Amino acid sequence: MNFRLKFDKVRGLPLILTGFVILFDQITKSFIASRWPIGSRIWPDPSNFHPDNILQIIHVRNPAIAFSIGYNLPEPAKRILFVILPIIVLIILVLYYFSSDEFTKLQRWAIAGILGGGIGNIADRVLRPDGVVDFISIKFYGIFGFERWPTFNVADTSVVISCVLLLVTIFVGTKNEIAEAKARCSSEQPIKQAEEQSDEQKI
């Protein structure tokens, strides 16, 4: 694959979002990790704590990935699957981001959000031996079988929102391209019919 990297304002400006996500993610994680031990219930106050609270702030660690997938894998496998492989994927994404002209401006902002969240969690896996700091817990009312959604953090939020935004823009873009193609076919058809009639008359 041949990458010709291009650096301009359109590609560079969204990286402000990447930096902001990384910074905000690490500040919130450091704030939680430095003040409360793992397992602490931070908000609401423990005296007012109830399992049905819609929002809870608790300090937990995740040595795996989303939904604790891979929790029981041996450490070398975790290092490869959860650190080395994601780094390779992010590097490829960055190269494609700076070389491709296919992305819209909105899609570039979405990719920047994915990069920020990905880097934020990889930093945790490298620098924090107990795993990624998660602290946001939301009641999910049994949807998909979850009474509470698995605890997450700022980086996770950025990745999910940005992925949804990217997929929506791709879907809408594809739908528009199909509509434009149909419109072109419809407009070309009368021209072809007129040409065919003209050829028949000449014969």
Q: Which residues are the active-site residues?
A: 134, 156
Burial (CB count within 10 angstroms: exposed 0-12, middle 13-18, buried 19+), residue 153: buried
Left (φ > 0), alpha (ψ -120 to 50) or beta: where does 177 sit?
A: alpha
Cis peptide before 14 (omega within 30 of 0): no
Instruction: Write a three-state SS string for the chain.
Output: CCCCCCCCHHHHCCHHHHHHHHHHHHHHHHHHHHHCCCCCEEECCHHHCCCCCCEEEEEEEECCCHHHCCCCCCHHHHHHHHHHHHHHHHHHHHHHHHHCCCCCHHHHHHHHHHHHHHHHHHHHHHHCCCCEEEEEEEEEEEECCEEEEEEECHHHHHHHHHHHHHHHHHHHHHHHHHHHHHHHHHHHHHHHHHHHHHHHHHC
